[in-house]
Amino acid sequence: MTNKNHIRPLAFLLGLALYATNIASYAGSVDELKHEISFLAKKLLDQSGKDTITIKQAAAMKPFIGVCPEPSARGIKLTCITPGHNAAKAGLQTGDLVIAIDRLSMVSNESDKKHHHSAYRRVFSSLNTGKTLLFTVLRGSEEMKINVTVGAISHPAYTMTVSKDQIPESGD
């Protein structure tokens, strides 16, 4: 029996990886993204216990600011900024280290390793289109305050069928 609670997060990640292929030039090579999609598809099929699975995703508008965040104890490192979206328009740059968002610290000490993940999740799970967030960032040794308004991004509808015989083995 398939546990749909395990499949939904993987289906979301697979859909996200497919969407990411449209911005591959900003987030990594197409080959790297194809590898990630294959990995997630294999994991999805393994957990479903099936040889083939079809994923249907309706179109949706989602809150979006256009950053690739990497949480750490030092803060949130921005590993990419999507050109043309609100973070780029506001002046955030790849490499910026976000130390606070709306005065909520993104920094933690070694005894509080989970804080940076929970603070980050608290902010990014409650994004609302139109809300303005105050980012406190370190760019080199300079501290800057940058207002970023949350925009929206359209996730297109898609139907995708994944089959075990279509997924290359590791190392292919």
Per-residue model confidence as pLDDT tens digits over 72-114? 888 999 999 999 999 999 999 999 999 999 999 998 765 555 5
In eight-state DSSP terms, residue 167 is: S
pLDDT value, residue 122: 82
Residue pair 84/119 in contact (Cβ under 8 Å)? The answer is: no
Backbone angles phi, psi at 25, to 5 degrees: -65, -20
Q: Tell whether the model's pLDDT for residue 117 goes beyond 70.
A: no
65: β partners: none
**CATH number belonging to the domain at 63-153, selected among 3.30.830.10, 3.40.50.970, 1.10.240.10, 2.30.42.10:** 2.30.42.10
Domain layout of the chain by residue ranges? 4-59+156-166, 63-153
Count other C-beta atoms under 10 Å from residue 44's C-beta: 21
What is the C-alpha separation between 38 and 40, in angstroms, rounded? Answer: 5
CB-based burial label for 60 (10 Å; 0-12, 13-18, 19+) = exposed
Q: How confident is the model at residue 150 (pLDDT cuts 50, 70, 90)?
A: very high
101: β partners: 104, 135
Q: How confident is the model at residue 137 (pLDDT cuts 50, 70, 90)?
A: very high
Query: Higher confidence at residue 46 or residue 98?
Result: 98
